[in-house]
Amino acid sequence: MARARDVLLLLALLLGLFGAPPATPVMAQADSGTWVRPADGAVTDGFSAPPVPWARGHRGIDLASSTGTQIRSPADGVASFSGVVVDREVLSVNHGGGYISSFEPVESDLQVGDTLTGGETVAELSTYDDGSAHCDSPCLHWGVRLHGEYINPLLLTGELEPSVLLPLHNR
């Protein structure tokens, strides 16, 4: 009995159940289906959460596009960052409720504080400073953070359903 309790405690710790933020479903805070993709291309590289915050992962999705493609705000928001990060221009939009989208590599004339409407053009797809692209061919990298943690952006467009953990029943 004690061994089973210890195993469950370890599993809970590994899953981050202790000290986690309040269990508010993502869909309750961002109305699924009201967000739109910032570009229309196919997903060329999907979301892959890292096992720990500092580890390797793909913290967003890549959408096939061509240089110069107009990038849309996926939902209403306010420009919260527009500038160069390392070797590419990045645009971040604060959508409220803890949601922040980021897009790269893009060119944008937006200023921090500019108010945006969902679907409004906010940038154009660009390249890195050396002319290269994020992917093998031009693509937009779209990341979304919820209270600082990266989530799969497709959860917000209604293209994916969130995972649901069912209770463990004793047999």
pLDDT in tens, 94-152: 999 999 999 999 999 999 999 999 999 999 999 887 777 678 889 999 999 999 999 99
Burial 133-170 (b: 16+ CB within 10 A, else e): bbeeebbbbbbbbbeeebbbbbbbbeeeeeeeeeeeee
Between 54 and 17, the more confident residue is 54
Residue 142: inside a domain: yes
Instruction: Report pLDDT digits (tens) over 60-93.
Output: 999 999 999 999 999 999 999 999 999 889 999 9
Instruction: Give the integer Cα–Cα distance in Å for 8 and 169.
Output: 12
Q: Is residue 3 part of a domain?
A: no
Q: Is residue 15 part of a domain?
A: no
Number of residues written out for the chain: 171
Residue 98 belongs to a domain with what CATH number? 2.70.70.10
Q: Is the pLDDT of residue 59 over 90?
A: yes
The reply to whether 56 falls in a domain is yes
Q: Does a structural domain hold residue 6?
A: no
Decide: 47 and 59 in contact? Cβ < 8 Å.
Answer: yes
For 33-53, the pLDDT digits (tens) are 589 999 999 999 999 988 888
Number of domains the chain is built from: 1
**What letter represents residue 124's amino acid?**
E
pLDDT of residue 82: 97
Residue 115 domain-assigned?
yes
13 belongs to a structural domain: no
Query: What is the extent of the structural domain holding 150?
Result: 23-157
